[in-house]
Amino acid sequence: MQITTPRRYLTRAEGCALVDSWKSSGQSPAAFCRANGLAAWKLTYWRSVAEAQPSVGSGFVELERAAHGCGLELRLRDGVRVAVEAGFDPVVLRAVVEALA
């Protein structure tokens, strides 16, 4: 996985993709980092993040109408429920979903 963006940081999705790419490469961490122009600490950091987080599978969540009002409820596999009322702030919802991802 070649990182081509000029940003100094990776998103969680990019970090996890980096770890997946390293695992499937069959290379040692040092060889993978050299081949992809990465600092070794970056792979080490994202490995620790990926190992601390359980795999979430396909990323789909169950969505159903909330019992009250016109909102909806997100029900995640681990039992977490997020109620979204009518008139919600989409920026806040996105931040919540990203934090739970």
Q: Tokens at residue 71, please? A: 């909102």
The closest alpha carbon to 68, from 81, 89, 84, 88, belongs to 84
Distance of alpha carbon 26 from alpha carbon 22, whole angstroms: 7
- Map out the domains of the chain as residue ranges: 12-52, 62-100
pLDDT (average), residues 57-78? 62
Distance of alpha carbon 60 from alpha carbon 29, whole angstroms: 31
- 26 phi/psi in degrees, rounded to 5: 80, 5
Distance of alpha carbon 100 from alpha carbon 4, whole angstroms: 27
Q: Tokens at residue 99, please? A: 């934090």
What's the pLDDT tens digit per position in 1-59?
555 545 567 788 888 888 889 999 999 999 999 999 988 999 999 888 888 755 555 55
